[in-house]
């Protein structure tokens, strides 16, 4: 049991709530309505960026009232306990046929913007009709690219956040809110 407890740092850390579960629910509902209004009846392909966007994608697609397809793309620039980005790795093997389709790329957070920029560049080779981006969180103060998310739910301060799909060393994803880990 001791080894199991050592592998779960969240047991010994406090998490300060930054955005509540209710605030997230309300923002995702509003985002779904906005996307539905903007796309009208045009078919849409939602591409969720693994793994952090899973909670957002599942909640968001239930709020979008138009024909849609769902796919996944894998991107990683933070590994393990890293809190600063490293080389971006993209895996497109799970991307469905998006040729001549409107695509909405959904990710958990827009930090420096390099991940989203790399993903959008990579997806151009699939010949989509259009590509837009939607994120739950935007750390605008850290953005270093000439790109902004087309949709976002919350602007957040420059703090390392977890919960609602976001992790630290694959922990905390299960939290229904966004928080900041405060270790003892």
Q: Which residues are annotated as catalytic?
A: 111
Closest C-alpha among 46, 32, 23 to residue 154: 23
> SS3 helix, strand, coil % of the chain, rounded to 5?
30, 35, 40
Nearest to 50 by CA among 171, 166, 172, 178: 166
Q: How far is Cα 40 from Cα 66, in angstroms, rounded to an integer?
A: 7
Place of tokens 């509902």: 29
Q: Determine contact, residues 158/112, Cβ cutoff 8 Å.
A: no
Closest listed residue to residue 139, CA positions, set 93, 84, 177: 84
CA proximity to 105, closest of 77, 124, 83, 80 = 124
Question: Scanning the structure block, which residue is given the tokens 């694959």?
Answer: 170
């Amino acid at each position: 049991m001791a080894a199991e407890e050592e592998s779960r740092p969240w047991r010994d850390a406090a998490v300060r709530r930054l955005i509540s579960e209710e605030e997230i629910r309300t923002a995702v509902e509003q985002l779904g309505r906005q996307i539905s209004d903007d796309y009208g009846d045009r078919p849409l392909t939602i591409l969720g960026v693994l793994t952090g966007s899973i909670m957002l994608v599942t909640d968001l697609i239930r709020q979008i009232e138009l024909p849609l397809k769902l796919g996944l793309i894998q991107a990683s620039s933070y590994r393990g306990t890293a809190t600063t980005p490293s080389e971006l790795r993209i895996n497109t093997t799970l991307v469905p046929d998006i040729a001549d389709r409107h695509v909405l790329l959904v990710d958990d957070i827009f930090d420096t913007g390099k991940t989203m920029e790399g993903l959008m560049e990579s997806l151009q080779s699939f010949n989509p009709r259009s590509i837009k981006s939607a994120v739950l969180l935007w750390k605008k103060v850290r953005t270093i690219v000439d790109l902004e998310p087309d949709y976002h739910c919350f602007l957040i301060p420059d703090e390392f956040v977890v919960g609602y799909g976001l992790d630290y060393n694959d922990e905390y994803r299960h939290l229904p809110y966004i928080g900041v880990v405060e270790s003892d």
